[in-house]
Amino acid sequence: MIEGMQEKKAKVIDLLKQAGVNSGDIVLVHSDSTLAMKLSGAESWAEALQFLQSCFEAVLGESGTLIVPTFTYDFCKGKPYNHLSTPSTVGFFTNHIRRNPHAVRSFHPIFSFAAIGGQAHTICDKVSKSSFGKDSVFDRLFHSDSKLLFFNTTFDYCTFIHYVEQQMNVDYRYKKYFTGEVFDGIKKYIDTFDFFVRYLDRNVTVALQPMSQRLLQSGCMKQVEVDGGVILQVKCQDVYRETAKVLCEDPYFLIEKPPKELKVIVHQERSGSIEKKDDLKQIFRNGRLKKEKRKIKDTVAEIFPLNRALVSEGINRAFEFIKEDLEGIGEFCLETYRSTYPVWTWRIPERYVVNEAYLETPNGERVIDVKNNPLHLVSYSIAIDKSISWAELEPHLHYSEKRPGAIPWEFKYYERGWGFCLSKDLFEKLPRDVEYHVVIRSVFSTVPEKGLKTATLMVNPEGDRQPDNGEILICTHVCHPNLANDDASGVAVAMEVAKRLKETPLPAGSMDIRFLFCPETIGSISYFSQHEEIIPKIRGGIFIEMAGNNNRIALQRSRQDSHLIDRIARKVIKERDKKYFEDGFRNVVGNDEMVINGPGVNIPCISISRWPYDEYHTSDDNLDIIREKKLVEMADIVEEIIRIFATNYVPKRKFKGPIFLSGYGLWVDWRVNKPLNLALEKIFLRFEGDRSIFEIAEELDLDYWEIREYIEKFKTKDLIDALPIK
């Protein structure tokens, strides 16, 4: 029994009230229990810890809630987690509360909490697997207007600050996924949890004292001195507001110094710099690496079966095929980007490796197995090995209402979870009254050399390069596992066009053509974020996808809506597909044009596809729906748009007065070409440097190639300058 218990307890209660703790509060306590020993005069730790608990309970009352961290980092080191017995590694008081028979412990093998009081279950039950994400304890503390109390500790122990950092997406931390064995009190299984960790290779050191001072100076945080110790109290919402504000002013305010800069591009492979692998042919289904003349559909067939997740072995094989097939076509560059690193406002995902994934009934029947089709697994599913009921399983199963016999494609690149995809027909047949064994053995790798990849191919016109004339960009995405039309078909069409442009080069003085093959969205973001210097050089862009299905052409205009690239595309497509469809930017389908034509880049970019089609994002998007005729038509259209756009220029006169046409051999006999004869004066009246050749042809309703050939004669006779398109 502690001597003078009531007086000592009254003193501590008064100190807690001075610090701002009130009846009914929800309080997370970080503590150094040596002060409790000192204030209580207890002879044992057990007495001191019980004394401190009773003080908090007296202040908080029956409706209040006392919460303590019961963290352990052993799970991150590969050790199993037992929800009932794994101790806290962050202090005596935390284990004292954890062992209390009335305590509720949140289930998380890294950042668990123990709570006693009115809101214990609300705060700790059914929390997220994300340490600092939605529905984590930290998230619930924020939304419940809880308080943080530091009992004889400093603000340096404020783990809540990492919740703010994750919400603000600071660039010196990233989500890391830890998989291991857990026991939830009923069953043992394998599961995966995330942790917003520091980049150790960037020398990131936490420094929270400046934030502590800011909170004290602003009056948000209260401080009470006591017998050589200190009690601090601050509301979670105040910490969030003030920290978010300061991070907007200085993104590195919470660390000692800005993180060490590491290159996002960790490796470049250029044409001819890598020896061919003798066994490379084994990678590709048809075993054809050389560029013998073949159908475009054959190229689709090489790429289609590969499991092309964003960062994976499958997409790497696709890039190897593209590189080998385009050898000698132009300057090819394959770049590798560091996983988890920030690129503009995004982050590069980890390399995804799936060793095994299946759903099994109690009798051992595998009703779903990723070996049969990679679409069965939701891309970037976390690892799990657990037996669960139908009620728990059903939300993780995905099927298509529109195509009940097909497997849909689903993905969770950034909002991690797990799931399986199956046909609705199979879904309906699965028994509801049994437990299912869920096994996903996946790994998220952050090895720099195995990061995200993009590839570029530069195809130049005849003669010496003239960089001032600019470039046109052709983009297509290489990802999407086991899908043919979206977008193996777009990749195949782009490769075909590149070969044609090599075989019949653009004339000297034309633009360069830059082909970009990349994973959707994050690939083009990664590429342009590391090559901002090329953005001003690119005059226009074309995104190609969904090229082989049996549908009319769909043209999506650029963000500029009536740019040269839009008008040239419309003219070319109209001549080949009278039933074509067009609409404004992002009104047809959404892809990398949002990056290319988006904020801070804004390269006028059209999209050409055959959208819509019913098989989209299902296993029915296979080689059966691909038509060679449609692929060839798409290649013809893209090639012609490129040829017109890249050869177009602005004629600027060097003469005065009307030209003596016949004296320069520029007269066109009306009996040979009456339309051109009638337009002769109208043409040279448009040589004021404010119209391109295409615009002149457009205004006079003449064929572009015919009028360009005629205007070229003026250039040859030094009557005009050819100004590049801007």
Interval 641-678: pLDDT, tens? 999 999 999 999 999 999 999 999 999 999 999 999 99
Which pLDDT score is estimated for 656? 96
Provide the b/e sequence for 337-356 (b: ≥16 CB within 10 Å): bbbbbbbeebbbbbbbebee
In order of 250, 520, 640, 677, the CA distances from 549 in angstroms are 51, 20, 21, 43
Phi, psi of 239 (to 5 degrees): -60, -45
Instruction: Say how many residues make up the chain.
Output: 726
How many degrees, rounded to 5, is the angle at CA 261 between CA 258 and CA 264? 140
Which pLDDT score is estimated for 692? 98
Tokens standing for residue 211: 């934030």
Q: E strands within 478-535? A: 512-518
Q: Give pTM, 2 decimals.
A: 0.90
Tokens standing for residue 694: 């295409």
Relative orientation angle of helices 45-60 and 5-18, to the nearest 10 degrees? 50
Strand-pairing partners, residue 104, are: 115
123 Cβ neighbours under 8 A, 6+ residues apart: 26, 65, 67, 104, 106, 113, 115, 137, 140, 141, 144, 146
CATH T-level assignment (fold) for domain 352-445: Glucose Oxidase; domain 1 (3.50.30)
> How many CB atoms within 10 Å of residue 35?
22
Direct distance between the N- and C-terminal alpha carbons of the chain, in angstroms, rounded to an integer: 87
Q: Where are the domains of the chain?
A: 5-249, 266-346+450-647, 352-445, 650-723
How many degrees, rounded to 5, is the angle at CA 586 between CA 580 and CA 588? 30
Strand-pairing partners, residue 478, are: none
Domain 266-346+450-647: which CATH number of 3.40.190.120, 3.40.630.10, 3.30.9.10, 3.40.190.10: 3.40.630.10
Closest CA to 530 of 265, 170, 261: 265
In order of 9, 172, 243, 251, 531, the CA distances from 259 in angstroms are 46, 6, 18, 11, 22
329 neighbors 459 (Cβ within 8 angstroms): yes
Tokens standing for residue 330: 């132009």
Which pLDDT score is estimated for 1? 60
Residue 310 and residue 316: Cα distance in Å, rounded? 9
Residue 672 and residue 452: Cα distance in Å, rounded? 58
- What residues in the chain have per-residue pLDDT under 50? 272-291
DSSP 171: T
Residue 330 and residue 201: Cα distance in Å, rounded? 37
574 Cβ neighbours under 8 A, 6+ residues apart: 580
Share of the chain above pLDDT 90, in %: 92
499 Cβ neighbours under 8 A, 6+ residues apart: 291, 326, 329
293 Cβ neighbours under 8 A, 6+ residues apart: none
Amino acid at 69: P
Tokens standing for residue 388: 């669960």
90 neighbors 33 (Cβ within 8 angstroms): no
> How many CB atoms within 10 Å of residue 77?
9
Residue 478 and residue 488: Cα distance in Å, rounded? 7
563 neighbors 590 (Cβ within 8 angstroms): no
